[in-house]
């Protein structure tokens, strides 16, 4: 079971933070991926692969850390 966070983690940290839910039926708010970032990636490996498949590239604002 993947780790789920109820608030966005620090973008400069080593937690994926990909937003996996916006709002919800039961007003349970936003949900973010709490898995560690993959080495050399902005997200965990699962979300890195998903973004590449959907968008073809990953562009991030300055201040977003890359996984170690």
Paired strand residues for 5: 32
pLDDT at 26: 67
Number of domains in the chain: 1
The answer as to whether 29 is a domain residue is yes
Instruction: Give 10-47 pLDDT, tens digit per residue.
Output: 999 999 999 998 766 666 678 999 999 999 999 999 99
Sign of the alpha-carbon torsion through 45, 48, 51, 55: negative
Give the per-residue pLDDT at 30. 87
The reported pLDDT for the residue numbered 29 is: 78
- Residue 12 resides in a domain: yes
CA angle centred on 55, ends 53 and 61, rounded to 5°: 125
| Cα–Cα dist 54/10, whole Å | 24
Strand arrangement, sheet containing 31-33: 4-5, 31-33, 19-21
Q: Compute the average pLDDT of residues 50-58.
A: 94
Q: What is the per-residue pLDDT for 1?
A: 62
> Does residue 19 fall inside a structural domain?
yes
Residue 36: give the domain boundaries: 4-55
In sequence order, what are the residues at sequence separation of 6 or more whose Cβ sits closer than 8 angstroms to the Cβ of residue 52? 58
């Amino acid at each position: 079971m993947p780790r789920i966070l109820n608030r966005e983690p620090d973008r400069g940290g080593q937690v994926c933070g990909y937003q996996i839910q916006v709002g919800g039926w039961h007003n349970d708010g936003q949900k973010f991926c709490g898995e560690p970032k993959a080495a050399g990636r902005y997200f965990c490996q699962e979300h890195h692969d998903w973004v590449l498949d959907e968008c073809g590239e990953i562009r991030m604002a300055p201040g977003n850390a890359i996984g170690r």
